[in-house]
Amino acid sequence: MDQVLSDKLKNLGTTRTRNDRIVARWLWDSFVRHRLKFIGVAVILMVVEALMLGAFSYLVQPMFDQVFIEGEHARVYLVALAMAAVFFGRGVARLGHKALMVWQAESATADLQTMLLAHLTRLDQGFFKLNAPGVLIERVRGDSEALRRVFTGLITGLGRDGAAVIVLFGVALWTDWQWTLIALVAIPTLAVPLLAIQRLIRRRSRDARIAAAQSSNRLDEAFHGIATLQLTGTEAREVGRFREITRRYVSKATRAAIGQAAVPTVMDFGAAIGFALVLIYGGFQIIEGTRTVGQFMSFFTALGLLFDPMRRFTALTADWQAVLASLERTHALLQVQAKVTNPAPPHAPIPARDQTSVELRNVDFAYGSEPVLRDLSFTAPAGKTTAIVGPSGAGKTTVFGLLTRLADVDAGAVLVGGQDVRAMDLGALRGLFAVVSQDTALFDESIRDNILMGAEDVTEDALHAALVAAHVDDFLPLLSDGLDSLAGPRGSSLSGGQRQRVAIARALLRDAPVLLLDEATSALDAKSEAVVQDALEKLAKGRTTLVIAHRLSTVRNADQIIVMDRGTVVEQGTHEALLVQGGVYSRLHALQFKDGAQSTLS
């Protein structure tokens, strides 16, 4: 049993060491190697700073022996000028290397955050269903902060403190090698407790990063759902939940910080023993006249200055464990592979505008272990309007995700113009679709930017035509800066109907042959719905249109209606034909129009 446990621990240690090497190699190749010339200049300045410390400790001996004790007047000016030069040189060198390393730290951190965002935006929707926005924000912003510490802490520490230790140790040896060995006699005994502390720091730092991600996610949910919290009177409950999460974070972060602080504390214990032994041994030598006061003060100054960078230098191992805890999470995130990728050429041909029929053929799909679509088959003819209706959870919106390859089928095939979408160039495929959904995605940029969304070579005439067709021009005069007014976070400066009209204008400019409408009018009042519906009808002309709707009144004129339930097609036909059948659609219609009032299918 003990042998099995020993083997497991050995394998765990081997795996961790291998992972550490992989992370370190990635760190070097991606962020350090191409910055070496700047780091090199900074390290030279760090060495200069260390040399100034050594020069200071060395000058203490003539200051005491030749100036203070022997009273050599000529030495006063020389030692004073030398001391001034030392402090001036140290200050300039310190300023120079700090400026360089902060610059490199900030630029490297910005590069990593950009790299993470670029990687995440290429992942499929299944990943985002399993990883909340707040958690991902913390992974991008919080964990990447560790890279800044690599430059401002680890590299600076290795350069500055490493050089200081070497220089001051040399001065101490030059002054008296016996005193130096006595001062360092306790250091080897500290190795075991230091290794134990480092392992503790690694675990606690990793736990703290996980807790920080949970905290960020809770904040994200609270701010996005602030209206619901206020209307339901649950502000105190949400604050309590956040307080509990932050308590866990504080506990874990405190333990990690205590572990890091313990490393220099252990070094101080060794320094205390060394100082005491040197003071006893050297004190008797000075009393006996075999050593001078200046020698002892020079050594004591070098030793006093030595233990401070040595303590920091030793603490770097603890800092490295904390940094690795964050960087290994970041590196692991970058290793997540997108399930939806662009196929290797040659790609399937993109269908002509009048041949963009849509077909789902025996499609199965699940998010994780949860089935969503089961043997789903239907065809939407090119240039016609096909409505998809059914209760919530039937898989209607998932169909749109599979069409645009935000996710891929588990079985079966999705075809556009007779071509499997998985064989088409991904960018060209998505260029076939214009999407208007209930939850319109607007960004805190100008309305112009939100409409264009990267579209190039759009003339003012074309933009104006889209604004008119989408009825955006109706409300632009009400905004302070018209088309250049900011939409606000998530489009909060606009009403629901205005946001929908901006989305329709965006879709008009894309001029895509296939239009996907996902509950585009369900959240609007009657007046806004009429305006938006008119814009949608203009947008749908000449396009293959698929419409998801809960309100059946909005799809009664569709060329065909697909009725879905539990991930499969249960009925198919026109509005009139489905009513005559007296099946699921007929019952849904009767439910919505009971007593002459329309309700929303839920």
pLDDT at 190: 60
Q: Are residues 230 and 278 located together in one domain of the fold?
A: yes
In a domain, 340, yes or no: no
pLDDT at 272: 64
The model's pLDDT over 536-586, given as tens digits with 9 standing for 90+, comes to: 777 778 788 898 887 777 788 888 999 988 889 998 988 888 888 888 888
Please state the rounded mean pLDDT for residues 290-299. 67
Which H, E and C letters describe 381-444, residue by residue?
A: CCCCEEEEECCCCCCHHHHHHHHCCCCCCCEEEEEECCEEHHHCCHHHHHCCEEEEECCCCCCC
Domain count, the chain: 3
Most confident of 284-288, 294-298, 401-405, 553-557: 401-405
Bridge pairing between strands 433-437 and 514-518: parallel
pLDDT at 2: 40
What is d(CA 115, CA 25) in angstroms, rounded to the nearest whole number? 17
The model's pLDDT over 439-463, given as tens digits with 9 standing for 90+, comes to: 777 888 888 888 888 677 788 888 8
What is d(CA 499, CA 175) in angstroms, rounded to the nearest whole number? 78
Q: Are residues 249 and 214 located together in one domain of the fold?
A: yes
Please tell me which residue, 445 or 16, carries the higher pLDDT value: 445
The residues facing 378 across adjacent strands are 360
Residue 102 has pLDDT above 60, yes or no: yes
The model's pLDDT over 127-160, given as tens digits with 9 standing for 90+, comes to: 887 787 777 888 888 788 888 888 888 888 888 8
335: CB partners within 8 A, 6+ apart: none
Q: Name the pLDDT band for 274 (thresholds 50, 70, 90).
A: low
Q: Name the pLDDT band for 11 (thresholds 50, 70, 90).
A: very low
Q: Name the pLDDT band for 36 (thresholds 50, 70, 90).
A: very high
Which residue among 461, 490, 511 closes a domain?
Answer: 511
Please state the rounded mean pLDDT for residues 462-468. 85
pLDDT at 37: 93
Q: How far is CA 582 from CA 169, 341, 387, 585, in A?
A: 94, 44, 18, 7
Q: Are residues 444 and 533 located together in one domain of the fold?
A: no
Residue 549: strand, helix, or coil? coil
Q: Are residues 161 and 224 located together in one domain of the fold?
A: yes
Residue 523 has pLDDT above 50, yes or no: yes
pLDDT at 414: 94
The model's pLDDT over 197-207, given as tens digits with 9 standing for 90+, comes to: 666 666 676 77
High-pLDDT (> 90) share of the chain, %: 11
Residue 529 has pLDDT above 90, yes or no: no
Domain of 102, CATH number, reads 1.20.1560.10
Q: Are residues 52 and 188 located together in one domain of the fold?
A: yes
pLDDT at 406: 87
Q: Which residue has the tokens 């970041």?
A: 330
At 91, the amino acid letter reads G
pLDDT at 511: 80
In a domain, 10, yes or no: no
Please state the rounded mean pLDDT for residues 402-425. 92
pLDDT at 227: 62
In a domain, 585, yes or no: no
Which residue among 511, 526, 549 closes a domain?
Answer: 511
In a domain, 344, yes or no: no
pLDDT at 602: 38
Please state the rounded mean pLDDT for residues 420-440. 87
What is d(CA 563, CA 570) in angstroms, rounded to the nearest whole number? 6
- From the list 110, 92, 207, 103, the residue with the least C-alpha distance to 155 is 103
Which H, E and C letters describe 241-306, residue by residue?
A: HHHHHHHHHHHHHHHHHHHHHHHHHHHHHHHHHHHHHHHHHHHHHHHHCCCCHHHHHHHHHHHHHH
Q: Are residues 562 and 454 located together in one domain of the fold?
A: no
pLDDT at 586: 85
Q: Name the pLDDT band for 595 (thresholds 50, 70, 90).
A: very low
Which of these ranges, 2-6, 35-39, 366-370, 484-488, has the smallest mean pLDDT?
2-6
- From the list 141, 138, 142, 143, the residue with the least C-alpha distance to 214 is 138
What is d(CA 269, CA 248) in angstroms, rounded to the nearest whole number? 31
Please state the rounded mean pLDDT for residues 173-188. 68
In a domain, 342, yes or no: no
Bridge pairing between strands 419-420 and 433-437: unpaired
Q: Euclidean distance between the first and final Cα of the chain, in Å?
A: 58
Please tell me which residue, 503 or 269, carries the higher pLDDT value: 503
What tokens appear for 491 in the block?
A: 């489009």
Please tell me which residue, 268 or 326, carries the higher pLDDT value: 326
Residue 485: Cβ within 10 Å count = 16
Q: Which residue has the tokens 């995605």?
A: 441
In a domain, 343, yes or no: no
pLDDT at 358: 92
Q: Are residues 428 and 442 located together in one domain of the fold?
A: no
* Mean pLDDT, the chain, whole residue set: 78
pLDDT at 87: 75
Which H, E and C letters describe 447-497, residue by residue?
A: HHHHHHCCCCCCCHHHHHHHHHHCCHHHCHHHCCCHHHCECCHHHCCCCHH
The model's pLDDT over 484-519, given as tens digits with 9 standing for 90+, comes to: 888 887 778 888 788 888 888 888 888 888 988 887
Q: Are residues 502 and 403 located together in one domain of the fold?
A: no
Q: Are residues 355 and 489 located together in one domain of the fold?
A: no
Please state the rounded mean pLDDT for residues 38-42. 92
In a domain, 454, yes or no: yes
In a domain, 583, yes or no: no
Please state the rounded mean pLDDT for residues 391-399. 83
Q: Are residues 132 and 265 located together in one domain of the fold?
A: yes
Q: Are residues 114 and 155 located together in one domain of the fold?
A: yes
High-pLDDT (> 70) share of the chain, %: 75
The model's pLDDT over 345-361, given as tens digits with 9 standing for 90+, comes to: 899 999 998 899 999 99
pLDDT at 419: 92
pLDDT at 230: 66
Bridge pairing between strands 568-573 and 560-565: antiparallel
Residue range of the domain that includes 426: 351-432+513-575
Please tell me which residue, 188 or 487, carries the higher pLDDT value: 487
What tokens appear for 560 in the block?
A: 């065909």
**What distance lies between CA 117 and its chain's CA centroid?**
6
Domain of 409, CATH number, reads 3.40.50.300
What tokens appear for 43 in the block?
A: 């390290």
Given a contact cutoff of 8 angstroms between Cβ atoms, the answer to whether 547 and 387 are in contact is yes
Helices (H) and strands (E) in the chain, counts: 21, 10
Residue 209: strand, helix, or coil? helix
Q: Are residues 271 and 386 located together in one domain of the fold?
A: no
Q: What percent helix, strand, coil does the chain show, rounded to 5?
A: 70, 10, 20
What is d(CA 244, CA 251) in angstroms, rounded to the nearest whole number? 11
Q: Which residue has the tokens 């799809």?
A: 555
Q: Name the pLDDT band for 378 (thresholds 50, 70, 90).
A: very high
pLDDT at 10: 46
Q: Name the pLDDT band for 4 (thresholds 50, 70, 90).
A: very low
Please tell me which residue, 472 or 66, carries the higher pLDDT value: 472
